[in-house]
Amino acid sequence: MAEQKSYRWLSAGAVVALALAAFVALVALRHAADDHTRATDVKARADETMRRIEAQVDQLENEAGAK
């Protein structure tokens, strides 16, 4: 009977280890998704800034050409 009990604890430990591994994987995936979202947001802001700068340059060129 002692062997049955020790196997039971071993199985319980394996289940706990698997649950912990799944939790760590979930946290890692969520963190990676947050990083991707932040990187995408930075790219969108940089693109918008470039469009504004190009519009200002076009406006300045048009004003300089009109003088």
Tens of pLDDT, residue by residue over 19-40, are 999 999 999 999 999 999 888 8
Report the C-alpha dihedral over residues 29, 34, 40, 41, rounded to 10 degrees.
170
pLDDT score, position 20: 98
CA 17, CA 28: separation in Å to the nearest integer?
16
Which amino acid appears at position 62 of this protein? Answer: N
Q: Is 61 left (phi over 0), alpha (psi -120 to 50) or beta?
A: alpha
Q: Against a cut of 0.75, is the pTM above it? A: no
Which position has the higher pLDDT, 54 or 7? 54
Q: What is the mean pLDDT of the chain?
A: 90
Note the Cα 32 to chain centre separation in Å: 3
**Which pLDDT belongs to residue 65?**
84
